[in-house]
Homo-oligomer: A and B are copies of this chain.
Amino acid sequence: MTSPDRPQQPTDLPVTAAAAAAARTTGRAGNPTERFATRTGGMTASEIRALFAVASRPEVVSLAGGMPNLAALPLQSLSGEVAELVAQDGLTALQYGSAQGVPELREQICDVMAEEGVEGDPNDVVVTVGSQMALDLLTRIFVDPGDVVIAEGPSYVGALGSFAAYQARVVHVAMDEHGLVPELLTDALRSLAAQGITPKFLYTIPNFHNPAGVTLSIERRPRILDICREYGVMVVEDNPYGLLGFSGEVYPSLRSYDSDVIYLGSFSKTFASGLRVGWALVPPLVRDRLVLAAESATLCPPSFTQMLVSRYLAHHDWRSQVKTFTENYRERRDAMLAALETYLPEGCSWNVPDGGFFVWLTVPEGVDTKAMLPRAVTARVAYASGTGFYADGFGSRQLRLSFCYPTPERITEGVRRLAAVLEAELDVVRTFGTSARSELGRGPQSPSPDTN
Protein backbone atom coordinates (compact mmCIF):
# COMPACT_ATOMS: atom_id res chain seq x y z
CA MET A 1 0.00 0.00 0.00
CA THR A 2 2.95 2.33 0.00
CA SER A 3 4.60 3.71 -3.04
CA PRO A 4 8.29 2.95 -3.31
CA ASP A 5 9.00 5.60 -5.93
CA ARG A 6 7.46 8.54 -4.25
CA PRO A 7 7.91 10.44 -0.98
CA GLN A 8 4.41 10.75 0.39
CA GLN A 9 5.41 12.86 3.34
CA PRO A 10 8.25 15.26 3.79
CA THR A 11 10.91 13.28 5.61
CA ASP A 12 13.94 15.40 5.01
CA LEU A 13 14.23 16.49 8.62
CA PRO A 14 14.16 14.24 11.66
CA VAL A 15 11.11 14.66 13.82
CA THR A 16 11.76 15.71 17.37
CA ALA A 17 9.00 15.42 19.87
CA ALA A 18 9.76 18.84 21.30
CA ALA A 19 9.50 20.60 17.96
CA ALA A 20 6.28 18.84 17.16
CA ALA A 21 4.80 19.74 20.52
CA ALA A 22 5.84 23.35 20.08
CA ALA A 23 4.25 23.52 16.68
CA ARG A 24 1.07 21.94 17.96
CA THR A 25 0.81 24.44 20.80
CA THR A 26 1.35 27.35 18.45
CA GLY A 27 -1.02 25.94 15.92
CA ARG A 28 -3.95 25.37 18.21
CA ALA A 29 -4.86 29.04 18.56
CA GLY A 30 -7.95 28.29 16.50
CA ASN A 31 -8.52 31.80 15.22
CA PRO A 32 -8.52 31.54 11.45
CA THR A 33 -7.91 35.27 11.03
CA GLU A 34 -4.36 34.70 12.27
CA ARG A 35 -3.77 32.59 9.22
CA PHE A 36 -4.91 35.09 6.61
CA ALA A 37 -2.49 35.74 3.75
CA THR A 38 -0.52 38.97 3.76
CA ARG A 39 -2.45 40.22 0.76
CA THR A 40 -5.67 40.40 2.78
CA GLY A 41 -4.22 43.42 4.55
CA GLY A 42 -5.22 45.47 1.50
CA MET A 43 -8.78 44.15 1.46
CA THR A 44 -11.14 46.61 3.08
CA ALA A 45 -14.84 47.10 2.62
CA SER A 46 -15.42 49.82 0.05
CA GLU A 47 -17.17 52.84 1.42
CA ILE A 48 -19.87 52.44 -1.16
CA ARG A 49 -20.61 48.84 -0.23
CA ALA A 50 -20.67 49.63 3.46
CA LEU A 51 -23.39 52.11 2.68
CA PHE A 52 -25.58 49.87 0.58
CA ALA A 53 -27.55 48.34 3.45
CA VAL A 54 -28.62 51.70 4.82
CA ALA A 55 -29.02 53.43 1.50
CA SER A 56 -31.33 50.74 0.19
CA ARG A 57 -34.10 51.65 2.64
CA PRO A 58 -37.00 52.88 0.53
CA GLU A 59 -37.27 56.28 2.23
CA VAL A 60 -33.67 57.10 1.31
CA VAL A 61 -33.02 58.60 -2.12
CA SER A 62 -29.88 56.81 -3.13
CA LEU A 63 -27.62 58.78 -5.40
CA ALA A 64 -24.83 56.44 -4.29
CA GLY A 65 -25.08 53.23 -6.30
CA GLY A 66 -24.17 52.54 -9.89
CA MET A 67 -27.09 50.22 -10.65
CA PRO A 68 -28.32 50.58 -14.20
CA ASN A 69 -31.99 51.38 -14.70
CA LEU A 70 -33.44 48.28 -16.32
CA ALA A 71 -37.10 49.33 -16.33
CA ALA A 72 -37.01 49.79 -20.11
CA LEU A 73 -36.06 46.16 -20.78
CA PRO A 74 -38.70 44.19 -22.74
CA LEU A 75 -39.29 41.56 -20.05
CA GLN A 76 -42.09 39.74 -21.85
CA SER A 77 -40.00 39.25 -24.92
CA LEU A 78 -36.96 38.24 -22.86
CA SER A 79 -39.11 35.76 -20.99
CA GLY A 80 -39.93 34.03 -24.27
CA GLU A 81 -36.30 34.18 -25.32
CA VAL A 82 -35.01 32.48 -22.21
CA ALA A 83 -37.76 29.85 -22.33
CA GLU A 84 -36.70 29.02 -25.86
CA LEU A 85 -33.06 28.88 -24.82
CA VAL A 86 -33.82 26.17 -22.26
CA ALA A 87 -36.22 24.26 -24.49
CA GLN A 88 -33.96 24.29 -27.54
CA ASP A 89 -30.41 24.44 -26.18
CA GLY A 90 -30.92 23.52 -22.53
CA LEU A 91 -28.41 20.69 -22.43
CA THR A 92 -25.68 23.05 -23.65
CA ALA A 93 -26.78 26.10 -21.66
CA LEU A 94 -26.91 24.10 -18.42
CA GLN A 95 -23.55 22.36 -19.04
CA TYR A 96 -19.92 23.38 -18.46
CA GLY A 97 -18.42 25.31 -21.35
CA SER A 98 -15.04 26.59 -22.46
CA ALA A 99 -12.96 28.69 -20.06
CA GLN A 100 -12.58 31.34 -22.75
CA GLY A 101 -16.30 31.69 -23.32
CA VAL A 102 -18.97 30.68 -25.83
CA PRO A 103 -17.52 31.06 -29.38
CA GLU A 104 -20.64 32.57 -30.94
CA LEU A 105 -20.83 35.22 -28.22
CA ARG A 106 -17.17 36.08 -28.73
CA GLU A 107 -17.93 36.79 -32.38
CA GLN A 108 -20.87 38.99 -31.45
CA ILE A 109 -18.70 40.83 -28.93
CA CYS A 110 -16.41 41.77 -31.80
CA ASP A 111 -19.44 43.28 -33.59
CA VAL A 112 -20.29 45.28 -30.47
CA MET A 113 -16.71 46.58 -30.20
CA ALA A 114 -16.76 47.51 -33.89
CA GLU A 115 -19.21 50.27 -32.92
CA GLU A 116 -16.24 52.00 -31.33
CA GLY A 117 -13.81 51.31 -34.11
CA VAL A 118 -12.24 48.18 -32.64
CA GLU A 119 -11.16 45.44 -35.00
CA GLY A 120 -10.95 42.44 -32.71
CA ASP A 121 -10.52 38.75 -33.37
CA PRO A 122 -12.98 36.47 -31.51
CA ASN A 123 -9.99 34.27 -30.66
CA ASP A 124 -8.56 37.12 -28.58
CA VAL A 125 -11.76 37.69 -26.58
CA VAL A 126 -12.00 36.16 -23.11
CA VAL A 127 -15.50 36.22 -21.59
CA THR A 128 -15.53 36.95 -17.86
CA VAL A 129 -18.04 37.15 -15.01
CA GLY A 130 -18.51 40.89 -15.46
CA SER A 131 -15.58 43.04 -16.50
CA GLN A 132 -14.67 43.13 -12.80
CA MET A 133 -13.37 39.59 -13.19
CA ALA A 134 -11.30 40.64 -16.20
CA LEU A 135 -9.79 43.42 -14.09
CA ASP A 136 -9.08 41.03 -11.26
CA LEU A 137 -7.45 38.45 -13.52
CA LEU A 138 -5.36 40.98 -15.42
CA THR A 139 -4.06 42.27 -12.11
CA ARG A 140 -3.39 38.68 -11.09
CA ILE A 141 -1.30 37.89 -14.14
CA PHE A 142 0.58 41.20 -14.30
CA VAL A 143 1.01 42.59 -10.81
CA ASP A 144 3.54 41.44 -8.27
CA PRO A 145 3.24 42.92 -4.78
CA GLY A 146 4.63 46.45 -4.83
CA ASP A 147 4.26 46.92 -8.60
CA VAL A 148 2.97 50.31 -9.70
CA VAL A 149 -0.30 50.79 -11.56
CA ILE A 150 -1.24 54.20 -12.94
CA ALA A 151 -4.89 55.19 -12.64
CA GLU A 152 -6.84 58.37 -13.06
CA GLY A 153 -7.55 60.26 -9.87
CA PRO A 154 -10.30 59.56 -8.96
CA SER A 155 -10.75 56.03 -10.31
CA TYR A 156 -13.26 53.19 -10.27
CA VAL A 157 -13.57 51.79 -6.78
CA GLY A 158 -13.77 48.17 -7.97
CA ALA A 159 -10.48 48.54 -9.84
CA LEU A 160 -8.82 49.99 -6.76
CA GLY A 161 -10.16 46.97 -4.84
CA SER A 162 -8.55 44.52 -7.25
CA PHE A 163 -5.29 46.45 -7.28
CA ALA A 164 -5.25 46.38 -3.47
CA ALA A 165 -6.02 42.65 -3.39
CA TYR A 166 -2.82 42.00 -5.34
CA GLN A 167 -0.83 44.59 -3.36
CA ALA A 168 -0.29 46.97 -6.25
CA ARG A 169 0.84 50.51 -5.52
CA VAL A 170 -1.51 52.94 -7.27
CA VAL A 171 -0.22 56.25 -8.60
CA HIS A 172 -3.05 58.60 -9.52
CA VAL A 173 -2.82 61.08 -12.39
CA ALA A 174 -5.31 63.93 -12.49
CA MET A 175 -7.96 64.68 -15.10
CA ASP A 176 -9.37 67.97 -16.29
CA GLU A 177 -12.46 68.64 -18.40
CA HIS A 178 -10.86 66.78 -21.32
CA GLY A 179 -9.99 63.72 -19.28
CA LEU A 180 -6.57 62.43 -18.27
CA VAL A 181 -4.00 65.23 -18.63
CA PRO A 182 -1.16 64.15 -20.96
CA GLU A 183 1.39 66.46 -19.36
CA LEU A 184 0.66 65.12 -15.92
CA LEU A 185 0.89 61.55 -17.18
CA THR A 186 4.29 62.33 -18.68
CA ASP A 187 5.42 63.92 -15.42
CA ALA A 188 4.33 60.88 -13.45
CA LEU A 189 6.00 58.40 -15.79
CA ARG A 190 9.17 60.46 -15.98
CA SER A 191 9.35 60.69 -12.22
CA LEU A 192 8.79 56.95 -11.85
CA ALA A 193 11.36 56.23 -14.54
CA ALA A 194 13.86 58.31 -12.61
CA GLN A 195 13.27 55.91 -9.73
CA GLY A 196 13.78 52.96 -12.05
CA ILE A 197 10.10 52.08 -11.99
CA THR A 198 8.10 51.04 -15.05
CA PRO A 199 4.42 50.80 -14.08
CA LYS A 200 2.75 47.55 -15.06
CA PHE A 201 -0.06 49.39 -16.82
CA LEU A 202 -2.18 52.49 -17.09
CA TYR A 203 -5.74 51.73 -16.06
CA THR A 204 -8.06 54.24 -17.72
CA ILE A 205 -11.79 54.78 -18.27
CA PRO A 206 -11.80 57.08 -21.29
CA ASN A 207 -15.57 57.48 -21.71
CA PHE A 208 -18.02 58.98 -19.19
CA HIS A 209 -15.64 58.21 -16.39
CA ASN A 210 -16.68 56.52 -13.17
CA PRO A 211 -16.76 58.51 -10.91
CA ALA A 212 -15.58 61.70 -12.59
CA GLY A 213 -18.06 61.83 -15.47
CA VAL A 214 -15.48 63.25 -17.92
CA THR A 215 -14.50 61.91 -21.34
CA LEU A 216 -11.04 61.81 -22.81
CA SER A 217 -11.01 64.18 -25.80
CA ILE A 218 -10.36 62.81 -29.26
CA GLU A 219 -7.20 64.91 -29.50
CA ARG A 220 -5.74 63.41 -26.37
CA ARG A 221 -6.35 59.76 -27.24
CA PRO A 222 -3.35 59.24 -29.51
CA ARG A 223 -1.24 61.42 -27.23
CA ILE A 224 -1.94 59.27 -24.19
CA LEU A 225 -1.08 56.17 -26.21
CA ASP A 226 2.14 57.75 -27.49
CA ILE A 227 3.24 58.64 -23.98
CA CYS A 228 2.55 55.13 -22.70
CA ARG A 229 4.41 53.63 -25.64
CA GLU A 230 7.35 55.92 -25.03
CA TYR A 231 7.63 54.76 -21.43
CA GLY A 232 6.86 51.10 -22.19
CA VAL A 233 3.61 51.12 -20.23
CA MET A 234 0.72 48.85 -21.22
CA VAL A 235 -2.75 50.40 -21.43
CA VAL A 236 -5.85 48.79 -19.94
CA GLU A 237 -8.94 50.54 -21.28
CA ASP A 238 -12.11 49.97 -19.26
CA ASN A 239 -15.13 50.96 -21.30
CA PRO A 240 -18.48 49.99 -19.78
CA TYR A 241 -20.21 53.26 -20.68
CA GLY A 242 -18.85 54.01 -24.17
CA LEU A 243 -22.17 53.47 -25.97
CA LEU A 244 -24.09 55.56 -23.44
CA GLY A 245 -23.25 59.01 -24.79
CA PHE A 246 -26.02 61.61 -24.67
CA SER A 247 -25.06 63.36 -27.88
CA GLY A 248 -25.20 60.15 -29.88
CA GLU A 249 -21.50 60.54 -30.63
CA VAL A 250 -19.40 57.41 -30.13
CA TYR A 251 -15.72 58.00 -29.47
CA PRO A 252 -13.13 55.73 -31.07
CA SER A 253 -11.78 53.54 -28.32
CA LEU A 254 -8.09 53.59 -27.41
CA ARG A 255 -7.93 50.02 -28.67
CA SER A 256 -9.00 51.26 -32.12
CA TYR A 257 -5.69 53.16 -32.35
CA ASP A 258 -3.43 50.45 -31.01
CA SER A 259 -3.95 46.69 -30.94
CA ASP A 260 -1.62 46.35 -27.94
CA VAL A 261 -4.23 48.03 -25.74
CA ILE A 262 -6.13 45.66 -23.48
CA TYR A 263 -9.82 46.45 -23.79
CA LEU A 264 -12.46 45.64 -21.17
CA GLY A 265 -16.12 45.62 -22.04
CA SER A 266 -19.37 44.68 -20.36
CA PHE A 267 -23.05 44.01 -21.02
CA SER A 268 -23.90 45.28 -17.53
CA LYS A 269 -24.88 48.74 -18.75
CA THR A 270 -25.99 47.99 -22.30
CA PHE A 271 -28.14 44.98 -21.42
CA ALA A 272 -28.33 43.46 -17.92
CA SER A 273 -25.89 43.65 -15.03
CA GLY A 274 -27.40 40.62 -13.23
CA LEU A 275 -26.13 38.28 -15.94
CA ARG A 276 -22.53 39.27 -15.13
CA VAL A 277 -21.21 38.99 -18.67
CA GLY A 278 -18.15 41.07 -19.47
CA TRP A 279 -15.03 40.49 -21.52
CA ALA A 280 -11.44 41.35 -22.21
CA LEU A 281 -9.93 41.72 -25.67
CA VAL A 282 -6.22 41.07 -25.28
CA PRO A 283 -3.14 40.57 -27.46
CA PRO A 284 -2.59 36.88 -28.31
CA LEU A 285 0.49 36.73 -26.07
CA VAL A 286 -1.65 37.66 -23.09
CA ARG A 287 -4.68 35.57 -23.98
CA ASP A 288 -3.44 32.10 -23.04
CA ARG A 289 -2.27 33.23 -19.63
CA LEU A 290 -5.54 35.06 -19.04
CA VAL A 291 -7.55 31.96 -19.96
CA LEU A 292 -5.48 29.87 -17.56
CA ALA A 293 -6.10 32.37 -14.80
CA ALA A 294 -9.82 32.37 -15.62
CA GLU A 295 -9.89 28.59 -15.46
CA SER A 296 -8.34 28.57 -12.03
CA ALA A 297 -10.81 31.27 -10.91
CA THR A 298 -14.14 29.77 -12.05
CA LEU A 299 -13.38 26.89 -14.51
CA CYS A 300 -15.62 28.66 -17.02
CA PRO A 301 -18.14 31.50 -17.05
CA PRO A 302 -21.78 30.39 -16.87
CA SER A 303 -22.85 28.97 -20.25
CA PHE A 304 -26.43 29.94 -19.50
CA THR A 305 -25.95 33.68 -19.15
CA GLN A 306 -23.56 33.83 -22.12
CA MET A 307 -26.04 32.05 -24.37
CA LEU A 308 -28.82 34.34 -23.17
CA VAL A 309 -26.77 37.41 -24.09
CA SER A 310 -25.92 35.81 -27.43
CA ARG A 311 -29.59 35.22 -28.22
CA TYR A 312 -30.48 38.71 -27.12
CA LEU A 313 -27.90 40.22 -29.46
CA ALA A 314 -29.03 38.00 -32.32
CA HIS A 315 -32.78 38.39 -31.95
CA HIS A 316 -33.33 41.85 -30.47
CA ASP A 317 -32.59 45.32 -31.73
CA TRP A 318 -30.00 45.88 -29.04
CA ARG A 319 -28.83 49.18 -30.52
CA SER A 320 -32.31 50.66 -30.15
CA GLN A 321 -32.45 49.33 -26.62
CA VAL A 322 -29.18 51.11 -25.81
CA LYS A 323 -30.67 54.31 -27.26
CA THR A 324 -33.71 53.91 -25.04
CA PHE A 325 -31.50 53.40 -22.00
CA THR A 326 -29.45 56.45 -22.96
CA GLU A 327 -32.52 58.65 -23.33
CA ASN A 328 -33.61 57.65 -19.84
CA TYR A 329 -30.19 58.48 -18.48
CA ARG A 330 -30.06 61.84 -20.23
CA GLU A 331 -33.44 62.75 -18.77
CA ARG A 332 -32.13 61.86 -15.33
CA ARG A 333 -28.89 63.75 -15.83
CA ASP A 334 -30.87 66.83 -16.83
CA ALA A 335 -33.01 66.53 -13.72
CA MET A 336 -29.89 66.28 -11.58
CA LEU A 337 -28.14 69.24 -13.20
CA ALA A 338 -31.26 71.39 -12.87
CA ALA A 339 -31.60 70.45 -9.21
CA LEU A 340 -27.94 71.15 -8.52
CA GLU A 341 -28.33 74.61 -10.08
CA THR A 342 -31.48 75.29 -8.10
CA TYR A 343 -30.60 74.01 -4.67
CA LEU A 344 -26.86 73.76 -4.01
CA PRO A 345 -25.21 76.41 -1.85
CA GLU A 346 -22.42 78.67 -3.07
CA GLY A 347 -19.00 77.18 -3.28
CA CYS A 348 -20.08 73.89 -4.85
CA SER A 349 -18.91 72.95 -8.32
CA TRP A 350 -19.68 70.01 -10.54
CA ASN A 351 -19.22 68.75 -14.05
CA VAL A 352 -21.69 68.24 -16.90
CA PRO A 353 -21.30 64.63 -18.06
CA ASP A 354 -22.05 63.87 -21.70
CA GLY A 355 -22.96 60.27 -20.97
CA GLY A 356 -22.75 57.51 -18.41
CA PHE A 357 -24.09 57.57 -14.89
CA PHE A 358 -22.22 60.09 -12.74
CA VAL A 359 -21.75 63.69 -11.65
CA TRP A 360 -18.65 64.51 -9.59
CA LEU A 361 -19.23 67.25 -7.06
CA THR A 362 -16.74 69.37 -5.13
CA VAL A 363 -18.13 70.91 -1.94
CA PRO A 364 -16.97 74.07 -0.17
CA GLU A 365 -13.81 74.06 1.86
CA GLY A 366 -14.26 72.86 5.41
CA VAL A 367 -16.86 70.24 4.52
CA ASP A 368 -15.75 66.61 4.73
CA THR A 369 -17.95 64.45 2.51
CA LYS A 370 -17.13 61.24 4.33
CA ALA A 371 -17.92 62.73 7.75
CA MET A 372 -21.10 64.24 6.35
CA LEU A 373 -22.43 60.99 4.92
CA PRO A 374 -24.20 59.64 8.04
CA ARG A 375 -25.97 62.98 8.43
CA ALA A 376 -27.01 62.85 4.79
CA VAL A 377 -28.43 59.36 5.23
CA THR A 378 -30.30 60.61 8.29
CA ALA A 379 -31.72 63.29 6.01
CA ARG A 380 -32.70 60.44 3.63
CA VAL A 381 -30.23 60.98 0.84
CA ALA A 382 -27.14 58.89 0.04
CA TYR A 383 -24.09 59.53 -2.11
CA ALA A 384 -20.62 58.03 -2.50
CA SER A 385 -17.99 60.09 -0.73
CA GLY A 386 -14.88 60.91 -2.72
CA THR A 387 -12.19 59.17 -0.68
CA GLY A 388 -13.35 55.74 -1.86
CA PHE A 389 -12.21 56.60 -5.37
CA TYR A 390 -8.61 57.27 -4.40
CA ALA A 391 -5.98 54.89 -3.16
CA ASP A 392 -4.29 57.69 -1.26
CA GLY A 393 -6.92 59.28 0.96
CA PHE A 394 -7.64 62.22 -1.30
CA GLY A 395 -11.23 63.11 -2.17
CA SER A 396 -12.59 64.34 1.16
CA ARG A 397 -14.07 67.41 -0.52
CA GLN A 398 -15.57 65.40 -3.37
CA LEU A 399 -18.53 63.13 -3.78
CA ARG A 400 -20.11 61.12 -6.55
CA LEU A 401 -23.76 61.52 -7.43
CA SER A 402 -25.35 58.80 -9.59
CA PHE A 403 -28.28 59.77 -11.74
CA CYS A 404 -28.70 56.34 -13.31
CA TYR A 405 -31.29 54.67 -11.13
CA PRO A 406 -33.89 56.90 -9.40
CA THR A 407 -36.68 58.68 -11.24
CA PRO A 408 -36.12 62.34 -12.18
CA GLU A 409 -38.51 63.37 -9.39
CA ARG A 410 -36.58 61.37 -6.81
CA ILE A 411 -33.32 62.79 -8.10
CA THR A 412 -34.64 66.32 -7.66
CA GLU A 413 -35.83 65.50 -4.16
CA GLY A 414 -32.51 63.84 -3.33
CA VAL A 415 -30.49 66.86 -4.41
CA ARG A 416 -32.85 69.14 -2.43
CA ARG A 417 -32.15 67.06 0.68
CA LEU A 418 -28.43 67.04 -0.02
CA ALA A 419 -28.47 70.83 -0.36
CA ALA A 420 -30.11 71.13 3.06
CA VAL A 421 -27.48 68.86 4.59
CA LEU A 422 -24.73 70.93 2.99
CA GLU A 423 -26.25 74.16 4.31
CA ALA A 424 -26.28 72.68 7.80
CA GLU A 425 -22.64 71.59 7.41
CA LEU A 426 -21.71 75.07 6.30
CA ASP A 427 -23.45 76.53 9.35
CA VAL A 428 -21.26 74.31 11.51
CA VAL A 429 -18.16 75.33 9.58
CA ARG A 430 -19.09 79.00 10.08
CA THR A 431 -19.73 78.47 13.80
CA PHE A 432 -16.31 76.95 14.22
CA GLY A 433 -14.81 79.90 12.39
CA THR A 434 -13.57 77.95 9.42
CA SER A 435 -14.06 79.74 6.17
CA ALA A 436 -16.98 78.34 4.28
CA ARG A 437 -16.38 80.68 1.39
CA SER A 438 -14.70 79.12 -1.54
CA GLU A 439 -12.42 80.87 -3.97
CA LEU A 440 -14.45 79.18 -6.65
CA GLY A 441 -17.67 80.42 -8.01
CA ARG A 442 -20.76 78.30 -7.84
CA GLY A 443 -22.23 76.24 -10.64
CA PRO A 444 -21.23 73.76 -13.27
CA GLN A 445 -17.54 74.03 -14.03
CA SER A 446 -17.40 71.64 -16.82
CA PRO A 447 -15.54 69.64 -15.25
CA SER A 448 -12.46 69.46 -13.11
CA PRO A 449 -13.14 66.34 -11.19
CA ASP A 450 -10.29 65.83 -8.82
CA THR A 451 -8.75 69.21 -8.59
CA ASN A 452 -9.13 71.84 -5.87
Contact = CB atoms under 8 A, between A and B. Distances in A.
Interface of A: 1-3, 5-6, 8-16, 19-20, 22-24, 26-33, 35-40, 43-46, 49, 52, 67-68, 70-71, 73, 75-76, 78-80, 82-87, 90-99, 129-130, 132-133, 136, 140-144, 147, 153, 158, 161-162, 164-166, 171-174, 176, 184, 187-188, 190-198, 200, 229-234, 260, 268, 272-276, 283, 285-286, 288-289, 292-293, 295-305, 308, 392, 394, 448, 450-452
Given A140-B37, A141-B40, A173-B9, A130 B299 contact: yes
A305 to B, nearest CB: 6
A131 to B, nearest CB: 9
Contacts of A268: 96
B153 A8 contact: yes
A24 B194 contact: no
Contacts of A188: 8-10
A144 B86 contact: no
When A and B form their complex, which 8 residue pairs have the shortest distance between CB atoms, in order from nearest? A27-B232, A23-B193, A94-B272, A83-B83, A274-B303, A9-B188, A79-B86, A75-B90
Contacts of A39: 140-141, 144
Contact of A196 (B23, B84, B196): B23
A96 B15 CA distance: 53
A1 B260 CA distance: 31
A394 B296 contact: no
Q: Count identical subunits in the complex.
A: 2
Given A27-B193, A276-B302, 6 more contacts: A26-B232, A39-B140, A43-B292, A52-B98, A78-B90, A132-B297
A144 B8 contact: no
Contacts of A165: 140, 293, 296
Contacts of A305: 302, 304-305
Given A13-B195, A94-B70, A295-B49, A274 B304 contact: yes
A187 B276 contact: no
B46 A171 contact: no
Contacts of A14: 194
Nearest to A2: B451
Given A3-B394, A140-B165, A70 B44 contact: no
A99 B28 CA distance: 31
B8 A172 contact: yes
A272 B95 CA distance: 6
Nearest to A405: B95
Contact of A11 (B8, B29, B191, B229): B191
Of the listed residues A82, A91, A448, the one surrounded by the most CB atoms of chain B closer than 10 A to its CB is A82
B143 A37 contact: yes
B196 A132 contact: no
10 contacts: A3-B394, A9-B188, A26-B232, A36-B289, A43-B292, A45-B292, A132-B299, A272-B304, A302-B302, A304-B304
A392 B6 contact: yes
